[in-house]
Structure 1
């Protein structure tokens, strides 16, 4: 997948999302923020460099009790995985 479109978002209905997990991948000189969205037995994986990342974030923040502080938890310390569960049903 090279971009997050409205069609992709439509395949992630809020009522069916079981878990949203954020983490970082060490890319040697930078960190890449990633997001896994679990629905039933499928996991959708995204990262911040994909076109449409903001569209995905806007969608996910509509989940009830979504952790809006996920970025602060994931971003520090640098180059550590820092996995954070932002939503779990």
Structure 2
């Protein structure tokens, strides 16, 4: 059986990785205000999609509008049920 040395597997970060991750954080998420990298596509805290990476504009996740619609329909149904219950008495 061949033994492996764990230290030989450990690779140092490439020059590109060092350059990419050593940049300062210089933008904020427009939704939650978290500090983000200027080229981020998604906020790591609230997971909002950012249009251009600057945090200036964002789009909601596709399922968000559907959830909002369902919650509003449930609230409307409960309100209608309550109104009918009061009117029947």
TM-score higher than 0.5: no
For the aligned pair, the TM-score class normalised by the smaller chain equals under 0.3
Q: Greater relative contact order (Cα 8 A, min sep 6): structure 1 or 2?
A: 1
Task: Point out the structure with max Rg over C-alpha.
Answer: 2
The normalised TM-score by structure 1 is 0.20
Q: Going by fraction, where is helix more abundant, 1 or 2?
A: 2
Q: Going by fraction, where is strand more abundant, 1 or 2?
A: 1
